[in-house]
Amino acid sequence: MHDPLISYINRHSAVPLTDGDIELIKNTFLPKRIRKKQYLLQAGEVCKYGAFIVKGAMRQYSVDDKGAEHIVRLSIENWWAVDRESFLMLTPSIYNIDAWEDTDALLITNADMNELANKIPALVEMLRKLDERHSIAVQKRVNASISLSAEKRYDDFAKQYPEFIRRFPQHIIASYLGITKETLSRIRHQAVKK
């Protein structure tokens, strides 16, 4: 159950994990099954857990005044499902996080993560790299949103994350890209014609 997480850390760190590290990790991350549609986080709560996804898919979204959902993050295997701000600052979140499919995840609290980080250099390095890559990815997303058309953004997303296109329905992808499902449908049709 924890093997995917161990592999993940080993892949993202030059520092190898010792047997003792692995033991600590297995004892600290809690396995959890989250059923389809079940919440990991509801708006107004503090995000107590970071969740590493072993199997399944999750989505993070906000709901606006008019009741419309805006997907801000999608996660599948080997991705994390967590509201970083709420998790780090321990402040109430404006987001919901729920399971799009039945999901097996490994959960950890902020305090436990800090404690593990004090003991496991490989974890520190993995987290640092995770932060860097997340930061870069989200900056690219901002860049795309202020300089590219909806069509171009979809094309780039489809090329870069084909697995997400396959795993999530188009109305979810559309919301994540900040457009409507009708517009996405039209964009995709236009692209096929070209």
Residues that bind DNA (CB under 7 A): 36, 149-151, 169-171, 178-189
Q: Is 192 in the site for its own copies (CB under 8 A)?
A: no
| Least CB distance to DNA at residue 144 (A) | 11
Q: Is 171 in the site for its own copies (CB under 8 A)?
A: no
Mask of contacts with its own copies, 80-119, x by CB under 8 A? Answer: ----xx--x-------------------------------
Residue 143 contact, options its own copies, DNA, none, Cβ 5-8 Å cut-off depending on partner type: its own copies
Q: Is 185 in the site for its own copies (CB under 8 A)?
A: no
Q: How far is CA 52 from the centre of its chain?
A: 9
| Least CB distance to DNA at residue 135 (A) | 26
What are the phi and psi torsion angles at 187 (to 5°)? -60, -45
Radius of gyration of the CA atoms of the chain, in A: 18
Contact pick of 38, 44, 92, 132 for its own copies (by CB under 8 A): 132
Contact pick of 42, 118, 143, 185 for its own copies (by CB under 8 A): 143
> Starting from the edge strand earliest in sequence, which strands make up the sheet with 39-41, in order?
39-41, 96-99, 58-63, 69-75
Contact pick of 142, 159, 189, 193 for its own copies (by CB under 8 A): 142
- For residues 79 and 68, the answer to whether their CB atoms sit within 8 Å is no
Residue 132 contact, options its own copies, DNA, none, Cβ 5-8 Å cut-off depending on partner type: its own copies
- Shortest CA distance to 128 belongs to which of 120, 27, 164? 120
- For residues 26 and 101, the answer to whether their CB atoms sit within 8 Å is no
DSSP string, 18-64: PHHHHHHHHHHSEEEEE-TT-EEE-TTSB--EEEEEEES-EEEEEE-
List interacting residues with its own copies (CB under 8 A).
62, 64, 68, 70-72, 84-85, 88, 131-132, 134-136, 138-139, 141-143, 145-147, 175-178
